[in-house]
Chain A
């Protein structure tokens, strides 16, 4: 069984500061990992995904994440926060097995607040 833990249900940063959202996963098989963003009253939009091609993954809007197998982590970072980054962020895992059918297991989400 897979699981995802996002440390910190709320993260608050100042505009221009580093954004770090933490995600740890457990999986019995090599995982595929995803970060999604949800703006208020909208659906989820893919930020980036790890598919084993490279451990450092770059996504949209200046976000990136690094896959660290030894730490079972996939933390999301952005060097400089912008007001428009305020949203809820979800980490998700899918196993690479043929019977997974791409099912995702989500973390509980982290709400990012950006202060001027």
Chain B
């Protein structure tokens, strides 16, 4: 099992450019999540998908869109990147059979917006 994979690992964008961060999991998990990590702020939830076919906003959704392509894949899109979106982005997945089930995290994408 590869677990949760994310591409790319690193990306540099100019202000106004767009890009899509890809995430896939091979654990047959129902729920998937996108977080951003900024120094001193922990991880903050951007969007989540409780199950295939559903998505919902998290704490900091502005400037982002998501697509739950199928059960395995959950992508995050920045339509017009801004310097404030410079961050490390983590995708996570979870089996939703119980609220106590933990999330499994990918290795992250480091994004710099100039």
A contact set with B: CB distance below 8 Å: 4, 9, 32, 34, 36, 41-46, 49, 51-52, 90, 92, 94-98, 100-109
With a cutoff of 8 Å between Cβ atoms, the chain B residues found around residue A44 in the complex are 43, 90, 92, 105
With a cutoff of 8 Å between Cβ atoms, the chain B residues found around residue A4 in the complex are 42
With a cutoff of 8 Å between Cβ atoms, the chain A residues found around residue B99 in the complex are 32, 94-98, 100, 102
For the A-B complex with A41-B108, A106-B42, A108-B40 known, give 4 more contacts whose Cβ atoms are closer than 8 Å: A94-B99, A102-B99, A104-B43, A107-B42
List the one stretch of B14-22, B44-52, B65-73, B76-84 in contact with chain A.
B44-52
Checking A9, A49, A101, A105 against B31 with a beta-carbon cut-off of 8 angstroms, the contacting residue is A101
Q: Which of B33, B41, B42, B101 has the most chain A CB atoms closer than 10 A to its own CB? A: B42
Distance between B108 CB and nearest chain A CB, rounded to angstroms: 6
| A34 and B102 contact, CB distance less than 8 A | yes
Could you tell me the dominant secondary structure of chain A's interface residues?
loop
B contact set with A: CB distance below 8 Å: 4, 31, 33, 40-45, 48, 50, 56, 58, 90, 92, 94, 96, 99-108
| Bound complex: CA A51 to CA B99 (Å) | 9
Asked, given contacts A97-B99, A98-B99, whether A90 binds B43 with beta carbons under 8 Å apart, the answer is yes
| A101 and B50 contact, CB distance less than 8 A | yes
| A43 and B102 contact, CB distance less than 8 A | no
Q: Which of B90, B103, B108 has the most chain A CB atoms closer than 10 A to its own CB? A: B103
Checking B45, B58, B101, B108 against A43 with a beta-carbon cut-off of 8 angstroms, the contacting residue is B108
Asked, given contacts A42-B107, A43-B105, A49-B102, whether A102 binds B96 with beta carbons under 8 Å apart, the answer is yes
13 of the cross-chain contacts (CB-CB < 8 Å) are A9-B40, A32-B99, A36-B105, A42-B107, A43-B105, A51-B100, A94-B100, A101-B31, A102-B94, A102-B101, A103-B48, A106-B42, A108-B41
Distance between B2 CB and nearest chain A CB, rounded to angstroms: 13
| A46 and B102 contact, CB distance less than 8 A | yes
| Bound complex: CA A52 to CA B99 (Å) | 12
